[in-house]
């Protein structure tokens, strides 16, 4: 699928096992993206990938020099999301990343692919050459835990917003009817993370959003892992209502002035300007890449960079 990549016969790609986790985490950490964290038990993230996704490693001379993962989002039109693609910095640019990506394409039998690409030109090149077009920026946003009510509230703020915890199966079932995308396995994982809950937001008795939120992994606060917005809801109203909902704002056990709410948003989401005016800060950005730009509507999702 990748034009021009010359296979290096010294690099072998194979499925990962739990024995590889230490090497995988070392490579992830060397790239500034450790898979483990003081606030997380064991290999929570890698265990999920091993159970529910495809996880590959690249080896050379018996040493692991890279790893990659892909998780399928089900539904009538299943698509695989590249969760991870990382190479040991000492082996950058020697073909391991291309081999790993090709390994994922061979291992996962779906037509459509998505990912959140870093700004690394090697990553964007590998994705774009394999048909995953860079389509919009993914902004990493950070806000005070209690987002202020917008000035425009009088015009459009809902009278009867209600939110609460629901089962992960309820959120995934509703999202499947809204977008045709089935995140059931991922909702189970998101809700199992420390402080994690699946939740639903209603305005005037109608569900406008479902999502999953949890405690911060590295520092105090909350992380909105994923949110889906109903097709008939105002995306600004639904998003801001969800961000101000009780499951999202519930602080980590100890109240902490440094606590923040972290989430991502596609650049084209209509609430971006409003959220920045309300005090949200951009801390980083990736690029959403896909073989099928019509598959994900950036106005209707808070995407998890790892799972979509
Ligand atoms: C991104 C990454 C996984 C790629 O793996 P890699 O082994 O370094 O990449 P490869 O050598 O297989 O392929 C890179 C390709 O990009 C090409 N390339 C490099 N710089 C380029 C540029 N500026 N413009 C266009 N092409 C470029 C290389 O020529 C190579 O293509 P070729 O094999 O046809 O010569 C690796 O560099 C990495 O871990 N980067 C840091 C972490 C990261 O950002 N990961 C991506 C997360 S989404």
The answer to the question of residue 301 being in a domain is: no
Same-domain status, 75 and 205: no
Same-domain status, 238 and 149: yes
**Which of the two residues, 13 and 158, has the higher pLDDT score?**
13
Residue having the nearest C-alpha atom to atom 32 of ligand 1 = 5
Q: Choose one of 131, 147, 172: the last residue of a domain.
A: 131
| Lookup: tokens for 199 | 């939740």
- Position 2 scores a pLDDT of 45
125 alpha carbon – ligand 1 mean position (Å): 7
Atom of ligand 1 nearest to the CA of 94: 11
Q: Choose one of 97, 131, 165: the last residue of a domain.
A: 131
Residue having the nearest C-alpha atom to atom 17 of ligand 1 = 122
Q: What's the total number of domains in the chain?
A: 2
- Position 99 scores a pLDDT of 97
Q: Which letter does DSSP use for residue 87 in this model?
A: E
Kindly report, residue by residue over 57-80, the tens digit of the pLDDT.
999 999 999 999 999 999 999 999
Q: Ligand 1: which of 84, 102, 122, 307 to mutate, most ligand atoms within 8 Å of CB?
A: 122
| Lookup: tokens for 293 | 């730009």
Same-domain status, 222 and 266: yes
User: What is the bridge-based pairing of β-strands 221-229 and 161-166?
Assistant: unpaired
Atom of ligand 1 nearest to the CA of 117: 48
Domain range for 175: 139-285
The answer to the question of residue 36 being in a domain is: yes
Same-domain status, 35 and 164: no
Give me the torsion for CA of 112, 176, 84, 263, rounded to 10°: 130
* CA-wise closest residue to 233 among 287, 269, 286, 262: 269
Phi first, then psi: what are they for 119, rounded to 5°? -80, 0
Give the CATH number, domain containing residue 243. Answer: 3.40.630.30
Same-domain status, 175 and 120: no
Atom of ligand 1 nearest to the CA of 68: 3
Same-domain status, 29 and 110: yes
The answer to the question of residue 4 being in a domain is: no
125 within ligand 1 shell (Cβ under 6 A): yes
Same-domain status, 154 and 213: yes
Kindly report, residue by residue over 174-229, the tens digit of the pLDDT.
999 999 999 999 999 999 999 999 999 998 889 999 999 999 998 889 999 999 99
Same-domain status, 156 and 266: yes
**Which of the two residues, 291 and 5, has the higher pLDDT score?**
291
* CA-wise closest residue to 20 among 44, 3, 43, 39: 43
User: What is the bridge-based pairing of β-strands 260-266 and 221-229?
Assistant: parallel
| Residues in CB range of 41: below 8 A, 6 or more apart | 194
Atom of ligand 1 nearest to the CA of 98: 12
The answer to the question of residue 297 being in a domain is: no
Mean pLDDT of the chain: 92
- Band of pLDDT at residue 120, cut at 50, 70 and 90: very high
The answer to the question of residue 235 being in a domain is: yes
Residue having the nearest C-alpha atom to atom 42 of ligand 1 = 86
Q: Choose one of 131, 152, 170: the last residue of a domain.
A: 131
209 alpha carbon – ligand 1 mean position (Å): 37
* CA-wise closest residue to 209 among 234, 190, 184: 234
Same-domain status, 102 and 166: no
Judge whether residue 253 has pLDDT over 70: no
């Amino acid at each position: 699928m990748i034009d021009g990549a010359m296979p290096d016969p010294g690099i072998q790609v194979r499925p990962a096992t739990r024995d590889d986790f230490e090497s995988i985490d070392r490579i992830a950490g060397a790239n500034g993206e450790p898979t483990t964290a003081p606030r997380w038990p064991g290999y929570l993230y890698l265990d999920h990938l091993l159970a529910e996704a495809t996880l590959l490693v690249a080896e050379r001379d018996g040493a692991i020099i890279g790893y990659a993962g892909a998780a399928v989002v089900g539904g009538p039109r299943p698509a695989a999301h590249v969760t991870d693609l990382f190479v040991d910095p000492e082996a950058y640019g020697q073909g391991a990343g291309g081999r790993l990506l090709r390994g994922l394409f061979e291992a996962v039998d779906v037509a459509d692919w998505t990912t959140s690409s870093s700004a690394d030109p090697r990553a964007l090149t590998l994705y774009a050459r394999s048909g995953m077009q860079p389509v919009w920026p993914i902004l990493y946003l950070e806000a005070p835990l209690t987002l202020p009510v917008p000035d425009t509230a009088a015009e459009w703020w809902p009278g009867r917003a209600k939110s609460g915890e629901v089962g992960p199966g309820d959120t995934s079932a509703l999202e499947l009817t809204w977008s045709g995308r089935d995140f059931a396995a991922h909702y189970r994982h998101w809700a199992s993370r420390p402080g994690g809950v699946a939740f639903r937001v209603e305005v005037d008795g109608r569900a406008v959003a479902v999502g999953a939120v949890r405690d911060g992994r590295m520092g105090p606060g909350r992380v909105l892992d994923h949110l889906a917005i109903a097709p008939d809801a105002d995306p600004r109203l639904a998003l801001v209502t969800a961000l101000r909902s009780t499951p999202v704002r519930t602080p980590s056990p100890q109240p902490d002035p440094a606590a923040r709410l972290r989430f991502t948003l596609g650049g084209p989401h209509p609430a971006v300007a409003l959220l920045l005016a309300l005090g949200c800060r951009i801390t980083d950005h990736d690029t959403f890449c896909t073989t099928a730009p019509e598959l994900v509507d950036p106005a209707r999702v808070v995407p998890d960079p790892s799972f979509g």
